[in-house]
Homo-oligomer: A and B are copies of this chain.
């Protein structure tokens, strides 16, 4: 092996690969694998972890297509979205709920994203949780593009959002396209102007032609406050305006009402997220929701037809299919 392909991790990865072969395809015990590889059992355990973490081993669960759960069928019938209900015990806390849904999504994501694709991603606590667990999958010529700005009066937002972006990017070996603008402009005219800049319009174009959008939901007026409202992005006056306008939630800092409408919500004109008419052209729009506090927001997003694929925890799913 004097001319290995990747001098750095080639050895380790090659061992991990054979170990995975022996373990998952031939049912050998780690002890036995250790002997074949002339190393200790602990090292084999570590090799296998490594293999799983780097996406060398791919474990997927396949609903034998005939059997989406009862809940999933109901959701699909009523809202025309593909539903994935994540089993979570009713007793779980909201943080648990988020963590577990995020973990599931992170593991499945690779089945949707592939080479030559562009994925738009939002930011926020949901996206953050997912990003911390994405299972890597090597792709070529693919892009990860930020959907909305993350700056505010305190920071440029480049740290937080780009950390999330970056994790997706490295997991998929994709180019990362950051969106270096605030979440909301002070003056709509600035947005208009900037949108005409070639550097920015390039990004807007990518968003318009992306293959997948991945986002959580904001829910301004319910128990757990989304990052957008806690992080100093909005002033009290703006917040109140949303309230009087009847807003129930947002996707990438673009707001909507319970019936999915957005007309007359002036804040949207200053927001940097993609307009819903644009977003709706994206073939696959994956929405991740955890916790019943986001129920109203979810109903709105469904009404707005923003979602094609929904990941949701079990009890929220149950609540969703109960009377309006």
Residues of A46-95 at the interface with B, using a CB-CB cut-off of 8 Å, are 55-67, 69-70, 86-87, 89
For this complex, 25 residue pairs linking A to B, each with C-beta atoms less than 8 Å apart, are: A5-B66, A13-B64, A14-B67, A17-B63, A17-B67, A17-B69, A21-B61, A21-B86, A22-B87, A25-B103, A25-B107, A25-B108, A26-B86, A26-B100, A27-B103, A55-B62, A55-B64, A56-B64, A58-B59, A58-B60, A58-B61, A60-B60, A64-B138, A65-B138, A66-B138
**What secondary structure prevails in chain A residues at the interface with B?**
mixed
A58 to B62, alpha carbons, bound, how many Å? 7
Tell yes or no: A1 within 8 A of B by CB: yes
Interface size on A, residues (CB 8 A): 41
A6 to B138, alpha carbons, bound, how many Å? 38
A314's closest neighbor in chain B, by CB? B18
Tell yes or no: A125 within 8 A of B by CB: no
Tell yes or no: A36 within 8 A of B by CB: yes
Across the interface, A6 reaches (CB within 8 A) one of B5, B20, B61, B67, namely: B67
A68's closest neighbor in chain B, by CB? B5
Residues of A1-57 at the interface with B, using a CB-CB cut-off of 8 Å, are 1, 5-6, 10, 13-14, 17-18, 20-22, 24-27, 35-36, 55-57
CB <8 Å contact, A56 and B66: no
Tell yes or no: A177 within 8 A of B by CB: no
CB distance from A36 to the nearest CB of B (A): 5
CB <8 Å contact, A14 and B69: yes
A138 to B65, alpha carbons, bound, how many Å? 8
Complex copy number for this chain: 2
A17 to B18, alpha carbons, bound, how many Å? 28
Tell yes or no: A156 within 8 A of B by CB: no
A20's closest neighbor in chain B, by CB? B61
Residues in B neighbouring A152, C-beta threshold 8 A: none
Residues of A156-203 at the interface with B, using a CB-CB cut-off of 8 Å, are none
* Contacts A21-B86, A56-B61 known; 14 new A-B pairs at CB < 8 A: A5-B66, A13-B64, A14-B67, A17-B61, A17-B67, A17-B69, A18-B87, A25-B86, A26-B86, A55-B62, A55-B64, A56-B62, A57-B60, A59-B60
A60's closest neighbor in chain B, by CB? B58
Tell yes or no: A104 within 8 A of B by CB: yes
Q: Mark A190-233, 1 if CB is under 8 A from B, else 0.
A: 00000000000000000000000000000000000000000000
Residues in B neighbouring A86, C-beta threshold 8 A: 21, 25-26
Across the interface, A59 reaches (CB within 8 A) one of B1, B6, B59, B107, namely: B59
A138's closest neighbor in chain B, by CB? B64
CB <8 Å contact, A25 and B63: no
Given contacts A25-B108, A87-B22, A100-B26, contact A13 B61 (CB under 8 A): no
